[in-house]
Structure 1
Amino acid sequence: MSGGAHRAPSRFGRRQAIAGIAALAVVPTAAVVAGQVRTRTLPAEATTGPSHAPSAAASGPGKGSKPSGAAVVGKGGGPVPYRGGKTMLGAYLDLEGMSAAQAIALRRRQTGRDPRILHTFYAWQDTLPRSLPWLPDDSYPMISWRGTDHASILSGRFDDLIARNAKQLKRLGRPVLLRWGWEMNGDWYRWGGPQNSNNPANYVRSWKHLRKIFADQKADNVSWVWSPNWNDKPDAAWNAKPKYYPGDDQVDWVGVSGYNLHRELPGQLFQGIYDLYGAKKPIMITETGSVDRGGRTKADWTTALATWVEQHPAVGAVVWFDTDTHYNYHEKWRVDTDPESLAAFVAMAKDPHFSA
């Protein structure tokens, strides 16, 4: 997502950018309470969408109310494995006034479990972590590592930095998800194609350059997550997602960022990437969340997301953007902005499908 920057430094790392900020209304934070698990009976809007027709860029192939029926991947994920028929549920978790341990403990009390994936953000010239003392034993870290311009990477200027960070992640001594240079098909990041002479091929070369250095350092505990935005900006043939795909031998998970900003259904956000890659790679929804438009709107969208994921077996992970600290941004993405929204998230967390 684009526009704005997450406050930095954060104890969980840095998130830079959320799309459509100016268009959204301010929503106050409600009390934090644990809700009850409810059955998935959805209102008409949650399954059929808004009354107005979405744009072609927003809708993509398929609206996600039924399974696609196409063949899907049965294995993969690298050191962080995909488990067929199950989905890991994780979060970028950064809550106002709470330490990492306190935020994790709150979610554990509310949901009865730890996040299976805990997401962090780092700048390009940061030193990546060699230890994460706040990380629960049964959780995988996912590190979103910012990039820089392609020419600088391909020149070898940053080879020492890349090698040093490969060694850092190797020293973690546990499987880790690395999401380098995400949302490269958007125009809001320095490593995106639109800011690099409209040349996705050099993004692919940069990706392969990093992977080779990591391989040379024997950082074989790293699962590589390639993660475009759900729609392309600009919407042009040269900027289409497949132009940035480094190849099946270079990618362990195919990720995607997609938020319910303008009444998009889960299928509108995620069916396109699923249709492109779900037959050969496990799919991870690496960033998601929903605007709250009052009433049950956020709760119903969360329930619709859980239903869509269950209908799409190649989706091996969902990572919520669970925070109320996004810099200069009033929409609270945390899961417990009201009792109904929390109840819907708790229902997803307790669903056996999300027990991977």
Structure 2
Amino acid sequence: MMTPPLHGAYVRPDRTAVLDAMDEWMGARHSVHVVFVPWDPDGLDHVFDQLLPEIWATDRVPLLTWEPYTPTPDATPPDIAARIAEGAYDDYLDAWAERLRGWLAGPDGELGTADDRRCFLRLGHEMNGDWYPWAPAGGDSTPEEYVAMWRHVHDRMDDLPPERLQWVWCVNHVDVGPHTAEACYPGDEFVDWAGVDGFNWGASQEWSSWTSPSTVFDEMLDRLDALTENPVCVPEVASSSVTAAGHDPSEKAAWIREAFDYLDDRVALHCWFNEDKETDWGAFDGVRGTDSPDGTVPHWRYAAYRDALTDIEGRAAADETGFISDTAFRGE
């Protein structure tokens, strides 16, 4: 790998100040901010006038996870992938593409000039699982219809240059259900990055146990390397602190360090899921950690996270504007 891997994090958009505080604490910058948006025709102004500009203003590149919820999970048809592929949402797609085109063009409204912006676009992620309606095992569609959906969406935005927009196809670290990740691959012509999400759930769930980073990622990363020569990323990674003996922040700290050492050798970009959700995923400003400035929730953090990120000089791969470089954006 020519440059150190990029690093980013997911925090809710209303908690961007947490990401700023993380940067100050580390003395280094997260260069990518992962966010999630549904397919909501009424949400265009929020995405393109508020969400993306606010991320760009922090000198971070958005990794926009575009979830085909229309617009809410409960209202999404189970055959959403097939409907998108057949053109049922083309009006929304075209309006969305036009707004994205304008945002990427920057304030002067013209692509190819100095004020252009960038975005990673992660469409319909974790489709090899069974928990999303766009996934063949989670809704009422086939792998072929998922591929057709992806290609159809891509084709309606194929005028957007790869220097500004990189398409991220992202799977779960294991197949859940009868369909493989490979069966849902749209092809190199339609994908810029291959991604995989993976978590150490520890003993936080009845079905889970403590799992090392290599056990979480090895098999799927090998499969992605065999599938495509595109750069590989991990848009979501985190660990619980729950061991078989209960919460153990020291064990999570060791997992963080091991994960970063492992991923730095395998992928060109990885992003920490820094929100306590199903369990205590956070590495900063969470309910647990190895140290805290005042010993109170939610100010706990893991020094291992800071140390792992700051040990590699030049990780941000910044260009002269403060943003990530052309080569880092392409995973080179």
Q: TM-score, normalised by structure 1?
A: 0.68
- CA distance in structure 2 between the partners assigned to 1:318 and 1:306 by the alignment: 9
Q: What is the Cα deviation at residue 116 of structure 1?
A: 0.9
- CA distance in structure 2 between the partners assigned to 1:246 and 1:84 by the alignment: 27
Which segment is superposed worse, 270-279 or 242-251?
A: 270-279
Aligned to 1:345: 305
Secondary structure of the corresponding residue to residue 193 of structure 1: coil
Which segment is superposed worse, 242-251 or 338-347?
A: 338-347
Contact 1:94–1:103 (CA under 8 A) maintained in structure 2:
no
Q: TM-score, normalised by structure 2?
A: 0.73
Aligned to 1:192: 135
Amino acid at match of 2:99: Q
Aligned to 2:48: 129
Q: What is the Cα deviation at residue 165 of structure 1?
A: 1.4
1:214-247 deviation per Cα after TM superposition (whole angstroms, max 9, x unaligned): 115678621000001111111x3xx011001111
2:213 to 232, 250, 266: 266
- CA distance in structure 2 between the partners assigned to 1:319 and 1:136 by the alignment: 19
Q: What is the Cα deviation at residue 355 of structure 1?
A: 3.6
Counting helix residues as a fraction of each chain, which structure ranks higher? 2
- CA distance in structure 1 between the partners assigned to 2:200 and 2:4 by the alignment: 23
Aligned to 1:150: 81
Which segment is superposed worse, 268-277 or 255-264?
A: 268-277
* Map 1:157-306 → 2, pairs under 5 A: 157-173=88-104, 174-197=117-140, 199-216=142-159, 221-234=164-177, 236=178, 239-261=179-201, 262-278=209-225, 280-293=229-242, 294-306=248-260
1:69-96 deviation per Cα after TM superposition (whole angstroms, max 9, x unaligned): xxxxxxxxxxxxxx6342111001139x
Contact 1:104–1:114 (CA under 8 A) maintained in structure 2:
no
Amino acid at match of 2:82: A
Q: What is the Cα deviation at residue 209 of structure 1?
A: 0.2
Amino acid at match of 2:17: Q
Counting strand residues as a fraction of each chain, which structure ranks higher? 2
Secondary structure of the corresponding residue to residue 214 of structure 1: coil
Secondary structure of the corresponding residue to residue 281 of structure 2: coil
Amino acid at match of 1:317: L
- CA distance in structure 2 between the partners assigned to 1:123 and 1:249 by the alignment: 25
Amino acid at match of 1:338: G
Secondary structure of the corresponding residue to residue 281 of structure 1: coil
Gaps of at least 5 residues in structure 2 are 70-79, 105-116, 202-208, 243-247, 292-300, 318-332
Provide the identity percentage.
Answer: 26
1:258-290 deviation per Cα after TM superposition (whole angstroms, max 9, x unaligned): 100131211122222321233612111111110
- CA distance in structure 1 between the partners assigned to 2:167 and 2:252 by the alignment: 31
Contact 2:55–2:62 (CA under 8 A) maintained in structure 1:
no
**Structure-2 change in CA distance of 1:171 and 1:113 (3 Å):** farther
Q: What is the Cα deviation at residue 195 of structure 1?
A: 3.5
Q: Does 1:332 align with 2:280?
A: yes
Q: What is the Cα deviation at residue 349 of structure 1?
A: 1.6
Q: Aligned-pair RMSD on alpha carbons?
A: 2.2
Amino acid at match of 1:192: A
Aligned to 1:38: none
Gaps of at least 5 residues in structure 1 are 1-82
Amino acid at match of 2:210: R
Aligned to 1:112: 27
Aligned to 2:5: 87
1:97-120 deviation per Cα after TM superposition (whole angstroms, max 9, x unaligned): xx5442232112211122111011
Q: What is the Cα deviation at residue 134 of structure 1?
A: 4.2
Contact 2:273–2:282 (CA under 8 A) maintained in structure 1:
yes
Amino acid at match of 1:142: L
- CA distance in structure 2 between the partners assigned to 1:300 and 1:136 by the alignment: 34
Secondary structure of the corresponding residue to residue 82 of structure 2: helix
Q: What is the Cα deviation at residue 197 of structure 1?
A: 4.1
**Structure-2 change in CA distance of 1:118 and 1:298 (3 Å):** same
Contact 1:144–1:178 (CA under 8 A) maintained in structure 2:
yes
Aligned to 1:318: 270
Secondary structure of the corresponding residue to residue 263 of structure 1: coil
